[in-house]
Structure 1
């Protein structure tokens, strides 16, 4: 009996984290948090910023022009986000922490510079370059945590890391209610320069993961992008690209259109404009809370039933919750409360992103891991951006928000047929 108890106690015991590993995680988490904050800041200040800058650029600040310019700037930002795959090969060549710090430094500096924009063209350039930096942060933060943390801790580390992005939403909302209200949109962009401090701390205090150092010492120079698209990795690379694309389509469909849907439902319920906006903010918070819980619940589930089955559960949950919220609750006579309740469920299964932080590093060797992570996420962003604009056109054509977004549930159903082609890595150590 004592022997059994000792074994259980040993199984529960975790490898202690070193100070550098703790500092590195918080640096990566803070970067991912500030990444989410930066993305949400743009959504919050878009209208006041363009209302001021369009007349200075020779255009009237009409609602249609603000909407068009906002779409163009968002497109440029997404193109920059997609081009972030350039960071992967750099991280495989020069190290995780150095390049991670460079991504944070890039998006922080150019977010801060957005506060100095005197016309819409300057703002577009700053947002494009900030997008390049922001897009690289997830791939490099996920790669760093996977390699730096002990084998028995890195799975939960992936879940913890993913919560940062959604914590950034709360931080941006809090700043908007304080700094933004009193000092305007330029001050909001200036707060986005704060991550420079995080980048400096990463460079000064965090060591490169031992796994990367060992691989670097014995690796013959390769072309990592060519290798992940070669015979050894081609299948898992493209399967990962497809699965990430599906996840990104669902994220943008839910997150981008959720506030508008809540405002429409609240207005339909007789609320004032101000109350409708506040209700949308609360609903966004509930969606984020659900996603954070989903991120934390995912790693233990993935350890129990496997990576592929866990993703299938989360994809099925996304399909049901998108169809139920946008396809059913949105059209109910009194649909506000049911819609918001389904948003929490949608948020929970939106935590499927945590699986990719856990699973992608397990599928590739150290010498190409960052390149593979960055390539797969960038591919998904490019395709997801195109689908996002198609959804916008469908909403305009059909004159309704619910049905076009509800149809994205079919993408997750299709994803269930792709998952079996991915490798199952449960119980395997991170490949060297």
Structure 2
């Protein structure tokens, strides 16, 4: 792989590799190990919520606040920890994220009461969101970016099954602490990471607060559409106004004004919404149109998601040689085909194929469009671009199931 020829403050040409500034090359598999376990926090508890509720003497609905807290944590933590990376360097950001993950894991492992579990899930989410963004910022080619995003998809596809097995073998607390596996990768990477910040601007505290408010409001839109929708509009307007006075603040204007970044982020949002929406719609359709048990349906859902995650690595690696437009057309077509197939068919194999197509599109899109979005901004703003891009993808993951439930 060739080194990037782009200097600081310049955008990289199409197809060029993009190492993080002043960072030695880190083996890609360690980056994948640090990023992938985030998916355990999203999907790992899916099959054990009833067990958790029974042990905590509460309802399953109440327990799902732990999952909601994890979703909020990764949405908020993604841009916040990217900001820490920009202003304090990779090593300090890794240490801070690792501390959050460790503290959260210790809480869920040692304090089996609902408030501690919710806080522990949120802390792990904040930390693993940062570790994932840092891992993506440390990649040096489309192939390594594809491996990192594929690790998220592959872990996510097997997380419900792994979570259930860990619950049976140990307990549900160990299942909730599975995101802490990312600390193994962190221990290897932290010694090789750069200590140099990518931004010399002063920290924009108000910008960080406003972005956190925007993300929090957006996360709750599917749950409380009216109130959260109004708050989303108000906080976005306040952030846009702040951006005019602080263009090099927590949300860099050069990033959000880049057409390539905006298009890449919107496409990632849409592909994620379709994929995660079908992850709820397809099992429901299989339940309605087959005699399969819930366990059989859960097992059947593993292969299309696993296939999508595995193939995405190949797709992202090849995308650097193909060009932007053909890749965009292909991924959008795969996602659209998945929607049409899932909507028009009641045959089990076709429903599973629809999920596989959407999974390939979303997992590949996360990697491909992350590469596109970071090439379009100056090197010093790459961490911010990664954080904001991942935020859009995660919001798609949150909105997809909500849209399906409305339909």
Q: Does 1:221 align with 2:201?
A: yes
Contact kept, 8 Å, 2:366 with 2:393, in 1: the verdict is no
Quote the residue 1:311 is aligned against.
328
For residues 21-60 of structure 1, the aligned pairs below 5 Å read: 21-23=25-27, 25-53=28-56, 55=57, 59=58
Quote the residue 2:353 is aligned against.
341
Quote the residue 1:322 is aligned against.
339
Contact kept, 8 Å, 2:72 with 2:122, in 1: the verdict is yes
Check 1:97–1:320 CA distance in 2 against 1; reply closer, same or farther (3 A cut): farther
SS at structure 1 position matched to 2:201:
coil
Quote the residue 2:144 is aligned against.
157
Deviation at 1:112, TM superposition (A): 4.5
Give me the whole-angstrom Cα distance separating, in 2, the residues matched to 1:186 and 1:250. Answer: 31
Residue by residue over 1:231-274, the C-alpha shift from the partner in whole angstroms, topping out at 9 and shown as x without a partner, is: 67524354444233223312321334444444x15xx4333x3x
Quote the residue 2:67 is aligned against.
74
Residue by residue over 1:390-425, the C-alpha shift from the partner in whole angstroms, topping out at 9 and shown as x without a partner, is: 433x1xxxxxxxxx3xxxxxxxxxxxxxxxxxxxxx
For residues 396-415 of structure 1, the aligned pairs below 5 Å read: 404=407
SS at structure 2 position matched to 1:115:
helix
Q: Structure 2 length normalisation: TM-score?
A: 0.73
For residues 4-403 of structure 1, the aligned pairs below 5 Å read: 21-23=25-27, 25-53=28-56, 55=57, 59=58, 61=59, 66=60, 68-84=61-77, 85-100=79-94, 102-145=96-139, 149=140, 154-169=141-156, 172-173=159-160, 175-176=162-163, 178-204=165-191, 206-208=192-194, 216=198, 220-221=200-201, 226-227=247-248, 229-230=252-253, 234-236=257-259, 237-262=261-286, 264-265=287-288, 268-271=289-292, 273=293, 276-304=294-322, 306-325=323-342, 327-329=343-345, 332=346, 335-350=347-362, 351-382=364-395, 385-386=398-399, 388-392=401-405, 394=406
Contact kept, 8 Å, 1:139 with 1:370, in 2: the verdict is yes
Check 1:319–1:166 CA distance in 2 against 1; reply closer, same or farther (3 A cut): same
Check 1:159–1:196 CA distance in 2 against 1; reply closer, same or farther (3 A cut): closer
Contact kept, 8 Å, 2:40 with 2:155, in 1: the verdict is yes
Deviation at 1:192, TM superposition (A): 3.8
Q: How many residues align?
A: 340
Give me the whole-angstrom Cα distance separating, in 1, the residues matched to 2:332 and 2:304. Answer: 20
Deviation at 1:318, TM superposition (A): 0.2
Check 1:297–1:357 CA distance in 2 against 1; reply closer, same or farther (3 A cut): same
Deviation at 1:314, TM superposition (A): 0.2
Give me the whole-angstrom Cα distance separating, in 2, the residues matched to 1:220 and 1:229. Answer: 13
Check 1:112–1:44 CA distance in 2 against 1; reply closer, same or farther (3 A cut): farther
Give me the whole-angstrom Cα distance separating, in 2, the residues matched to 1:278 and 1:109. Answer: 36
Please tell me the root mean square deviation across aligned C-alpha atoms, in Å. Answer: 3.1
* The 10-residue stretch of structure 1 (382-391 or 37-46) with the greater mean CA deviation from structure 2: 382-391
- Between structures 1 and 2, the one with greater helix share: 1
Check 1:175–1:105 CA distance in 2 against 1; reply closer, same or farther (3 A cut): farther
Q: Structure 1 length normalisation: TM-score?
A: 0.69
Give me the whole-angstrom Cα distance separating, in 2, the residues matched to 1:254 and 1:109. Answer: 34
Deviation at 1:379, TM superposition (A): 4.3
Contact kept, 8 Å, 1:30 with 1:164, in 2: the verdict is yes
Contact kept, 8 Å, 1:103 with 1:133, in 2: the verdict is yes
